[in-house]
Amino acid sequence: MVDGGAMRPGWWVGADRCLQCHAPASSAGLCHACLTALPWNTPACWHCAEALPDQTASRCPACLQRAPPWHGAWCALRFEAPIVRWIHALKYHADLSAARRLALLLAHALRQHRAPPPELLVPMPLFPARMRLRGFNQAQLLADTLGHALRLRAAPAAARRQRDTADQTELSAKERRRNLRGAFAADARQVAGRHVAIVDDVLTTGASCHALSLALRNAGAVRIDVWCVARTP
């Protein structure tokens, strides 16, 4: 079973045994049965990746009324067990093996959806002080592995967070967008005239991707996609 046991710290993604049930592993450290049983985010709105009740619609009602400032969003999984545990292990316990596992799951989903390949992967930037405190940027780790898996170039210097912001956890969607206004800047020398994809771990309200998309668009990016591991309900 997919959620049938705690993740064992230190197991690397290429382990011979499944992280979940200890059967022979096939991909991303999981056996075929556990890989198939993950909470894959399908069907979903192609514009914001919000889960849809069935395959009859391709966009959610919110995007039909007011679409976000990027072209399309692909989130591999829903923010449910065991994905929540693996993302928290990465962000809060520095389990770097989880970054590789999650990136490979995102790569698998992108291959299935045949998403058009961007020229650059732009990891969601951290403010320098937070980067020093955490010691790593989880989005950059994801982008590095994703780029290697899909033969795409990760460009961590293509965007930066130029203003620290209050914690987003307890804020509403409107408050998050206000909190992030002007928080990012993008390097026109790297993104102008190019198709780029923002890479992050979780897409919730989309406020961070909204603000970063505006910065990338102002710097001349011609197409912006959002690629995240997981989508919250």
Domains detected in the chain: 1-37 (no CATH), 40-231 (3.40.50.2020)
State the pLDDT confidence band at 10, using cuts at 50, 70 and 90. very low
Is 105 or 57 the better-scoring residue by pLDDT?
Answer: 105
Cut 0.85: pTM above it: yes
CA angle, residues 225, 102, 200, in degrees to nearest 5 = 35
Is the bond leading into 43 cis (omega within 30 degrees of zero)?
yes
- With a cut of 90, say whether residue 52 has pLDDT above it: yes
- With a cut of 90, say whether residue 55 has pLDDT above it: no
- List, for residues 20-33, the tens digit of each pLDDT value: 888 988 778 889 89
| Cβ(198)–Cβ(229) below 8 Å | no
What's the whole-number mean pLDDT along residues 73-101?
A: 95
pLDDT for position 206? 92
| Cβ(116)–Cβ(122) below 8 Å | no
CA angle, residues 37, 39, 42, in degrees to nearest 5 = 110
Angle, helices 83-93 vs 138-150, to 10°: value is: 120
Element (H, E) at 219: none
Rounded to whole angstroms, the Cα distance separating 17 from 186 reads 42
